[in-house]
């Protein structure tokens, strides 16, 4: 990001950029900055935008060969094309002989770094990857937004806010706006303000569901499941998230056994640092054998739906009943 900012600041722009990565908020922010730097506002003759997997590489090349109309550059933005996940040799070869007046900007969530097109952009232009930000970066960013609004928040409340919103910057920004509106007439942001207006992430509800399973609170586990269904979450997605949670807990348990500390576990599992403590605590409620058995049960529940033996709602319900109060659930061990 730093090098991209320098390109824009010094007006020393590359002819080809690839903005990629899972952090959509930053990716789109820098997309707009690049557009403003490359194209004059309102110039519909020399600025072109394409989106989607039906984008035609040949059309992009034909357009690129057209001399700009009373302007320094012809600017072509291509978003979510899928070109970087599949072979697109036509564009990869073309970028090596790009006309000096043409500028390409590709915006993609996922890319294959082994692909020919990715390597062509890397060699002829600049690749900028926007990954999830670490805890300290997110805290500094949120604090700067809070100060700009003339408000204050304690360290503990800020930590609680991030636990509730997750690491997606777009979601954090939306939830923070709700908090600002709710606390319009006062300076301090309190934990009860966050509880009052912030939307609870599905992943947090899954975490609570697994907690209920560990504590053998069957009715609580089922209540959380029905709540998710009422929010239009699909049963198979809930099953996938429960399975993912069990898998993460198994990884955390194994890493703890090997002597890894919290930050090391975060790096190896991609769990945000400020969530690791909760995962370590939850993992301690289960044995490794129980977690492996639960993972296998998730696979079997998925198979039961796909083969038509059970409906999706019933399949997940039976899994939760079995592991939060039945014979399987009673195998959970606390250390």
Q: Give me the phi and psi of 291, to 5 degrees please.
A: -65, -40
What is the reported pLDDT for 207?
Answer: 86
The reply to whether 212 and 327 lie within a common domain is: yes
The reply to whether 152 and 117 lie within a common domain is: no
Summarised one tens digit per residue, pLDDT across range 249-295 is 999 999 999 999 988 998 899 888 778 888 999 999 999 999 999 99
The reply to whether 180 and 279 lie within a common domain is: no
The reply to whether 76 and 115 lie within a common domain is: yes
The reply to whether 124 and 7 lie within a common domain is: yes
Assign 326 a pLDDT band (cuts: 50, 70, 90): low
The reply to whether 208 and 140 lie within a common domain is: no
> Whole-model pTM above 0.85?
no
The reply to whether 232 and 178 lie within a common domain is: no
State the average pLDDT over residues 312-317: 94
Q: Could you tell me the CATH number of the domain that includes residue 72?
A: 3.40.50.300
Say whether pLDDT at 333 is over 80. Answer: no
d(CA 326, CA 335) in angstroms, rounded, equals 20
For residue 198, give the nearest of 149, 222, 153, 165 by alpha carbon.
Answer: 165
Q: Could you tell me the CATH number of the domain that includes residue 173?
A: 1.10.8
Domain boundary among 178, 197, 216: 197
What is the reported pLDDT for 88?
Answer: 86
What is the reported pLDDT for 334?
Answer: 38
The reply to whether 237 and 250 lie within a common domain is: yes
What stretches of the chain adopt beta strand conformation (E)? 16-20, 47-51, 74-79, 102-108, 126-129, 152-153, 188-189
What is the reported pLDDT for 1?
Answer: 79
The reply to whether 70 and 44 lie within a common domain is: yes
Number of domains in the chain: 3
Summarised one tens digit per residue, pLDDT across range 89-144 is 899 999 989 999 999 999 999 999 999 999 999 999 999 999 888 888 999 999 99
Domain range for residue 156? 135-197
The reply to whether 12 and 103 lie within a common domain is: yes
Domain boundary among 171, 197, 223: 197
Domain boundary among 197, 223, 248: 197
* Average predicted confidence (pLDDT) for the chain: 91
Instruction: Encode 248-275: b = buried (16+ Cβ within 10 Å), e = exposed.
Output: bbbbbbebbeeebebeebbeebebbebb
3-state secondary structure of 322: helix
Say whether pLDDT at 48 is over 90. Answer: yes
Spatial CB neighbours of 157, under 8 Å, sequence gap ≥ 6? 189, 190, 191, 194
Q: Could you tell me the CATH number of the domain that includes residue 265?
A: 1.20.272.10
The reply to whether 185 and 288 lie within a common domain is: no
What is the reported pLDDT for 135?
Answer: 83
What is the reported pLDDT for 335?
Answer: 39
Which tokens is 42 given?
Answer: 């309102």
Which tokens is 189 given?
Answer: 């942001």
The reply to whether 120 and 161 lie within a common domain is: no
């Amino acid at each position: 990001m730093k090098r991209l900012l320098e390109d824009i600041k010094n007006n020393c722009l590359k002819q080809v950029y690839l903005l990629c990565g899972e952090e959509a908020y930053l990716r789109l922010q820098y997309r707009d900055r690049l557009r403003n730097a490359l194209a004059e506002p309102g110039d519909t003759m020399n600025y072109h935008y394409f989106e989607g997997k039906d984008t035609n590489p040949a059309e992009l090349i034909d357009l690129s060969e057209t001399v700009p109309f009373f302007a320094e550059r012809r600017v072509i933005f291509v978003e979510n094309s899928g070109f970087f996940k599949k072979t697109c040799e036509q564009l990869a070869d073309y970028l090596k002989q790009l006309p000096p007046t043409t500028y390409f900007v590709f915006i993609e969530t996922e890319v294959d770094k082994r692909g020919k097109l990715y390597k062509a952009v890397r060699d002829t232009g600049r690749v900028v990857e926007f990954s999830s930000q670490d805890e300290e970066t997110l805290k500094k960013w949120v604090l700067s937004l809070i100060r700009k609004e003339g408000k204050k928040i304690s360290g503990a409340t800020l930590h609680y806010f991030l636990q509730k919103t997750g690491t997606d910057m777009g979601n954090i920004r939306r939830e923070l706006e709700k908090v600002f509106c709710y606390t319009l007439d006062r300076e301090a942001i309190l934990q009860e303000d966050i509880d009052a207006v912030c939307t609870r992430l599905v992943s947090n509800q899954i975490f609570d569901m697994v907690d209920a399973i560990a504590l053998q609170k069957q009715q609580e586990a089922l209540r959380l499941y029905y709540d998710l269904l009422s929010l239009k979450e699909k049963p198979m997605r809930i099953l996938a998230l429960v399975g993912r949670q069990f898998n993460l807990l198994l990884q955390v348990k194994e890493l703890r056994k090997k002597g890894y500390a919290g930050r090391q576990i975060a790096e190896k599992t991609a769990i945000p640092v400020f969530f690791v403590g909760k995962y370590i605590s939850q993992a301690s409620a289960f044995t490794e054998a129980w977690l492996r058995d639960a993972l296998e049960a998730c696979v079997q529940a998925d198979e039961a739906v796909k083969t038509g033996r059970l409906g999706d709602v019933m399949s997940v319900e039976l899994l939760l009943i079995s592991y939060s109060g039945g014979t399987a659930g009673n195998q959970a061990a606390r250390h």
